[in-house]
Structure 1
Amino acid sequence: MLGDRQETEEGVRERKRRETLARIAETGLRLFMTDGYENTTLEAIAEAAGISRRTFFYYFKSKEDIILVWQSNFTHLMRAAVIAEPPHQTPVDTVKNALLKLTSSYHSDQSIVLDRVIRSSPALMSASHAKYVAQEQAIFEALCEKWPQAKHRKSLRIAAMVTVGAFRLAVDAWSKDNGKRPPSAYLRETFATLEGTFQFQ
């Protein structure tokens, strides 16, 4: 009985921790979009989130960390989306369809503003480039779960590299176009280009 109560209390604490982390992150992202990344202070984020500066540092190392956590969460979603894809597809189609489903739920207006925030800061741009390495690894691991045979590893690594490259090009095209069309439109075009890359006459 005592063990059950302790487990319940730990569950409540963990839930509250996740809720607080999410509230701080959402507050920071909102302020970045309205006031600009450089103009947003830690004090402003803490005050708007209803926490102390000390509590902020319990959850995040810096305001840059808020963006990194947001990007890391998307990487986890990418991995889960690839694993959830039905069988009998090629690895490239598996990733393409997973990304199409994932990006369809994102709001273009909010995403384009966040993209501008990231591109406005050299530090965030550097971190943003690094995230693609993490995404490539996450997709590779997800593909290996679907095709666990060792003989497929090299092919799956290449599939992860080219699909993340295609995703990156799609994001860049979407950003340069100021999000005039849904992200899925740019993804479809980029993957169509990928599929035709080695079909020269």
Structure 2
Amino acid sequence: MEGRRDRKKRQTRERIQTSALELFTSHGYRNTTIAAIAEHADVATRTVTLHFPSKEDLLFADDPFAPESLAARLDTRPGPVLDAVGEWMRDTMHALDERDADQGRKPGETWSLRVKRATLIAEDEDLRGRGRAGYYELERLIAAAIGRDMGLAPDALAPRLTAYTVVGGLRELYMTHEAHHRDTATDELLPLVDRVLDFARAGLLRSTAP
């Protein structure tokens, strides 16, 4: 159970990150200073840098879709890799909605912030580089798991192409019309997740057909 001190620390981190995203969106990533973020979050500048040593960390720290989270799910999966990826996506997205409810925010507010985050990363060359490193690790994990199931090397074409399709497709969810105009529950976006995974399954089947 989360103690009072840990809860306060988490809430401070989340408030700082939310403030940063709001300012990055309204004023631009490069034009936003740490001092401005601290003022917006109503904390000291040193508090911001203690939680987030660099400005980039404000966008990349505490990612619920981090590779470590997917790795844990793949290690304990009872079935096919892509089924496990879908369950991981659904569970994580629902957890974000539950966090919104616990903190008195509107359903989907955290997702809306993540859409803004994805847009900021896509528009900045340096941020794209760091984001790409995280995507590569997700691709590596999925390809390795598919390769093990199929008796193929993780760098074989079929596992790698499937993993690239999955991660690329899920990343593009942030850029879709549906994501940018979302004002309903996560269930509105889950069919899009399923479409990405179905597309990847079909490609994997074709690429391994005799």
TM-score class, shorter-chain normalisation, is 0.5 to 0.7
Alignment of 1:9-158 (within 5 A): 13-71=5-63, 73-75=64-66, 76-79=68-71, 87=78, 89-103=79-93, 107=108, 109-136=112-139
Unaligned runs of 5+ in 2: 98-107, 183-187
Aligned to 1:170: 170
Question: Higher Cα Rg: structure 1 or 2?
Answer: 1
Aligned length: 181
Query: How much has 1:79 moved relative to structure 2?
Result: 4.7
Unaligned runs of 5+ in 1: 1-10, 144-150
Q: TM-score, normalised by structure 1?
A: 0.67
Query: How much has 1:35 moved relative to structure 2?
Result: 3.1
Determine whether 1:195 maps to 2:180: no
Secondary structure of 2:206 counterpart: coil
- Counting helix residues as a fraction of each chain, which structure ranks higher? 1
Q: TM-score, normalised by structure 2?
A: 0.65
Query: How much has 1:110 moved relative to structure 2?
Result: 3.4
Q: In structure 2, what residue type is equivalent to 1:37?
A: Y
Query: How much has 1:122 moved relative to structure 2?
Result: 1.3
Give the whole-Å Cα distance in 1 for the aligned partners of 2:143 and 2:43. Answer: 39
* Aligned sequence identity (%): 23
Secondary structure of 1:127 counterpart: helix
Contact 1:37 1:117 in 2 (8 A): yes
RMSD: 3.7
Task: Quickly say closer, same or farther: Cα 1:63–1:178, change in 2 above 3 A.
Answer: farther
Contact 2:73 2:84 in 1 (8 A): no
Query: How much has 1:58 moved relative to structure 2?
Result: 1.5
